[in-house]
Chains A and B, each alone.
Chain A
């Protein structure tokens, strides 16, 4: 009787016990996920219940709800400033999401339904190439582009549209002293940087719509606009939501672009960065990080309610 090698025995064992194989495959990534990712998140959450002494700048493990009250309790003196930060970030995230969706959709539509051959490859590379460039380099380049002596100002001057720019910049919420220190400028940079994340999911969703569905719609009497509204758009909607999750959450957590472009005024990311850095108020920073988690959770629930995940 031939002896079976250890390796062969092990292979047969794993073939018989499929659960054991699954366990062996999943344990390393699950360990990493559990310990490193979830564990660190939980440790951070724990920190949010600790006390920070303003005088001694020391963190003590005494449990308190003071940090959360500063964010959620209107009676708390810090509430006003904190809620400003949250609303500012939320507003920008919403605006960027809408803008990205509106800009990305036509591009994704062309890519999915009209681009053929070399055009398709060209579009893919054109959309993804910016993602290969360093994020900070891109943000910095935009400060140069939007600066007072920069290209945008020069172009508007050549076209004689400088008064229009002045008018826009003097608007209360949107404007600022110059383009690169205005909310409009910050909004433009955000939209540019997150655009590929919106284009690709929409393009994938649009591509999946079978041609026979569009032909059936046309056959039944729907004009092209009706076909678009009643068939194309609903089937592309999950792609839009998937892209919006990216743009929304990325804007909520970002702290680099607000520093480089736009007026003074902290975003959630900036505040967390400041708190945990020079100030050392880790509990407050931790409490603030819970805010985006809750907001994204609400957003996903809303998306699910709207049926974005039905296709899954």
Chain B
């Protein structure tokens, strides 16, 4: 059984910029695969390479086992949901959704019927007669989704589709997308810079940095066992203790990361790892509070504590001296 998408040492070079630099990845059939990274990290270029809007400068791309070199987008069994939705403004919503069938020569009655079914699936059953300009952002996004699914592609590509939506709508769409993927069984390849999105929806996540993949793991694995300082910091925000400080604390000159929620302010000395610091800033976030502490040598750490109503300890104030500690198992040794 071939993987849905396979990259072998794929590079894409623009003049002197290596947008994608020797990337290897494998997306399994039926998987929800996310590509996560900051702007300019190469994740969107990789998506466009899968869709066929770009050609690889080097390396080999395989779709379901077949080499995709020189295959134009209209011959690939891949469909895309664009970041700006790219709905055709001169067609009705129904014609937009039916477009994929129209270019294949499907008769009007049949393709309209299928388009109506598709719209019902994305919960826009009565919107067929409207124009894209008359829809809200969330509605347009769902039309784009219906349009991309009508050809029943084996791989669906989503290019930061939820970026323009407000938080509540985004969260609702995340649940819907995940449910849809489970229901249809299609391989989803999802590009985002929002690590919360990637973690909540995906089966596996690839973290991109400057055209290369730093780590590919399941969300839990990615969060609990980041391999590099970049991944530790990008996914979840972590305290990265560099090698020199680590030498003094645990006797090993290897950097490690500790999640802010694993750290706490300790009062008793029970033999665990302790660091003296000064509290600088407190940010209240409803469910949790983020505490910014500074060590004697200027290094900054972040501690996250839930705001429990009946906290036995009084929260420290900015300017106070505190002692920060964490359990040994919370330390994740980093490779780089």
Name A residues whose Cβ lies closer than 8 Å to a Cβ of B.
Answer: 210, 212-213, 215-223, 226, 230-231, 234-235, 310
Establish whether residues B84 and A212, one from each chain, have CB atoms under 8 Å apart when the complex forms.
yes
Establish whether residues A215 and B53, one from each chain, have CB atoms under 8 Å apart when the complex forms.
yes
Establish whether residues A231 and B88, one from each chain, have CB atoms under 8 Å apart when the complex forms.
yes
Establish whether residues B88 and A226, one from each chain, have CB atoms under 8 Å apart when the complex forms.
no
Q: State the majority secondary structure of interface residues on A.
A: helix
Additional 15 contacts, C-beta under 8 A, given A215-B53, A219-B73: A212-B84, A213-B88, A215-B80, A215-B82, A216-B80, A216-B82, A217-B88, A217-B99, A218-B52, A219-B78, A221-B74, A221-B103, A221-B104, A221-B151, A222-B74
Number of chain B residues close to chain A: CB under 8 A = 24
Chain B nearest CB from A225 CB (Å) reads: 10
Q: How far is the CA of A210 from the CA of B102 in the complex (A)?
A: 21
Smallest CB-CB A-B distances: 4 pairs? A216-B86, A212-B86, A220-B100, A222-B103
**Given A234-B90, A235-B90, also A220-B84 (CB < 8 A):** no
**Given A226-B103, A230-B103, also A219-B84 (CB < 8 A):** no
Of the residues A212, A231, A235, A310, contact of B82 by C-beta under 8 Å: A212
Residues of B within 8 A of A218 (CB): 52-53, 72-74
Residues of A within 8 A of B99 (CB): 217, 220, 222, 230
Which residues B86-122 have CB closer than 8 A to chain A? 86-90, 99-100, 102-104
Chain B nearest CB from A71 CB (Å) reads: 39
Residues of B within 8 A of A226 (CB): 103
Q: State the majority secondary structure of interface residues on B.
A: loop
Q: How far is the CA of A226 from the CA of B82 in the complex (A)?
A: 20
In the complex formed, the residue of B with least CB distance to A234 is: B90
Q: How far is the CA of A210 from the CA of B85 in the complex (A)?
A: 11
Chain B nearest CB from A48 CB (Å) reads: 42
Which residues B113-154 have CB closer than 8 A to chain A? 147-148, 151
In the complex formed, the residue of B with least CB distance to A235 is: B90
Chain B nearest CB from A113 CB (Å) reads: 15
Q: How far is the CA of A221 from the CA of B153 in the complex (A)?
A: 11
Establish whether residues A219 and B79, one from each chain, have CB atoms under 8 Å apart when the complex forms.
yes
29 A-B pairs with C-beta separation under 8 A? A210-B84, A210-B86, A212-B84, A212-B86, A215-B51, A215-B53, A215-B73, A215-B86, A216-B147, A217-B88, A217-B103, A218-B52, A219-B52, A219-B53, A219-B74, A219-B79, A219-B148, A220-B99, A220-B100, A220-B147, A220-B148, A221-B103, A221-B151, A222-B74, A222-B103, A223-B74, A223-B103, A230-B103, A231-B88
In the complex formed, the residue of A with least CB distance to B79 is: A219
Q: How far is the CA of A212 from the CA of B89 in the complex (A)?
A: 12
Residues of B within 8 A of A213 (CB): 86, 88
Interface centre among A213, A215, A218, A221 (most CB of B within 10 A): A221
Residues of A within 8 A of B53 (CB): 215, 218-219
Residues of B within 8 A of A231 (CB): 88
In the complex formed, the residue of B with least CB distance to A218 is: B73
**Given A226-B103, A230-B103, also A219-B80 (CB < 8 A):** yes
Residues of A within 8 A of B84 (CB): 210, 212
Q: How far is the CA of A221 from the CA of B104 in the complex (A)?
A: 7
Residues of A within 8 A of B147 (CB): 216, 220
Q: How far is the CA of A217 from the CA of B78 in the complex (A)?
A: 13
Q: How far is the CA of A212 from the CA of B44 in the complex (A)?
A: 14
Establish whether residues A219 and B104, one from each chain, have CB atoms under 8 Å apart when the complex forms.
no
Residues of A within 8 A of B86 (CB): 210, 212-213, 215-216
Q: How far is the CA of A102 from the CA of B74 in the complex (A)?
A: 28
Of the residues B72, B90, B103, contact of A220 by C-beta under 8 Å: B103
Q: How far is the CA of A210 from the CA of B216 in the complex (A)?
A: 34
Chain A nearest CB from B165 CB (Å) reads: 18
Q: How far is the CA of A235 from the CA of B99 in the complex (A)?
A: 16
Residues of A within 8 A of B82 (CB): 212, 215-216
Residues of A within 8 A of B90 (CB): 234-235, 310
Chain A nearest CB from B328 CB (Å) reads: 51
Q: How far is the CA of A137 from the CA of B53 in the complex (A)?
A: 49
**Given A215-B82, A215-B86, A234-B90, also A221-B100 (CB < 8 A):** yes
Q: How far is the CA of A266 from the CA of B52 in the complex (A)?
A: 59
Residues of B within 8 A of A234 (CB): 90
